[in-house]
Structure 1
Amino acid sequence: MPAPERPRRTEAMATVRTILPQGRPPRREDVLLCEPGPGDLGWIVQRNAALHAAEYGWNTDYEGLVARIVADFAQDHDPHLERVRTAELDGRPVGCAMCVRDEAPGTARLRLLLVEPDARGLGVGGRLVTAAVGFARGAGYRDLALWTNDVRTAARRIHRRQGFALTGERPHRSFGKDLTGQDRRPELRGPAG
């Protein structure tokens, strides 16, 4: 059974949320994992598109893919089988990851892992992936799939630390670039990382 849900973010929570003292650098414990609130799904689309364009030179084809993934989730998801988590720091979103149903029976898919550059090094990506893997286990999935690209080296390091092994790769042309797509899967039966 999945861990109890953290409450949905509300205006009242904004007064309880950790706001960093001026001049103090952020720490790992300053980052909160939350259910997405109003506007957060749009943020996921916008930030994925903008960061992947800036860091990898990907075109708007990637934005279209992310928009379809997010729209499918928003329109028709089962909260017992699918989840989005955002990471917040100082009252603003700094990361996200999704765990959604895959087409293959008994399989979930990790999607759209993202950490803002100024929040990297705080363990945000690892926490988001740990939460997704734990959710997949708790929801009873037998398998968790991930498709990524070899240029996403930081994300691949997080995936490897979380037990995602490379199961296949192939070159492709997507998002205006020649890339090598990678399929990865973790072991879901053992303890959470």
Structure 2
Amino acid sequence: MNDEIELRDLAIGDAGWLIQQHAELYAREEGFDASFEPLVAEILAAYLRTRDPACERAWIAWDGEQRLGSIFCVKGPEPGQAKLRLFLLTPSARGKGLGKRLLDACIAYARERGYGELVLWTHASHRAACALYEKAGFTCTDSHPVTSFGQRLEEQTWKLKLT
């Protein structure tokens, strides 16, 4: 499967698909409420409005005419810091190496663009993604309980030194 999958930049229709996929998958798999959908929409709207193509990029994984997942590399809140966002795989694409391929593309891009660090925010319940982060050299630098999207969650921050 992985060889025929194409990683494309964000294009027309992808943002709507990502909002829908995030909302539906997280509601079904983690019980997230409707407050998650506008957060994803706001992240994507900000990216579409303010993206700096010199140092920010999105990847949408396609198998023929079917979207399978995404990952984004955007400027972080601190100078020299990139932020990984909107990492998602559809259920049919999981367990086949695509997540690692997307993560590797994001890390390589951040390095190429001269970022010194790549950070991300996630939840401990995303075990497969957290295992990928750990294998790629990320370190969990913060973990604490929160109530978000109608659920009790363990919110985490992960960081990877790129230099």
Aligned to 2:49: 75
| Local SS of the residue matching 2:161 | coil
CA radius of gyration, larger in: 1
Structure 1 residue ranges without an equivalent (≥5): 1-26
TM-score by length of 1: 0.82
Amino acid paired to 2:103: V
For residue 61 of structure 1, report the CA deviation from its aligned partner. 1.3
* Aligned AA (1:71): A
CA deviations on 1:146-183 (whole Å, 9 max, x unpaired) are 11001111111121121111111111110000111111
Query: 3-state DSSP class of the match of 1:60?
Result: coil
Aligned residue for 2:60, secondary structure, equals strand
Tell me the residue number matched to 1:176: 150
Instruction: State the Cα deviation string for residues 33-59 of structure 1 (Å, max 9, x = none).
Output: 111221011111110111111110001
Q: TM (normalized to structure 2)?
A: 0.96
In the other structure, the counterpart of 2:139 is 165
Output one character per residue of 1:7-28: Cα deviation in whole Å (capped at 9) or x when no partner.
xxxxxxxxxxxxxxxxxxxx22
Find the counterpart in structure 1 of residue 113 from structure 2: 139
**SS of match in other structure, 1:93:** strand
Q: Which runs of 4+ in 1 moved over 6 A?
A: none
Q: CA RMSD in A?
A: 1.0
Mapping for residues 117-136 of structure 1, pairs under 5 Å: 117-136=91-110
Letter in 1 for 2:34: T
Counterparts of 1:24-173 in structure 2 under 5 Å? 27-173=1-147
CA distance in structure 2 between the partners assigned to 1:94 and 1:74 by the alignment: 20
Higher strand share: 2
Structure 2: give runs of 5+ residues left out of the alignment: none
In structure 2, C-alpha distance between the alignment counterparts of 1:34 and 1:125, rounded to whole Å: 15
In the alignment of these two chains, the number of paired residues is: 163
- Give the share of equivalent positions with the same residue, in percent: 37
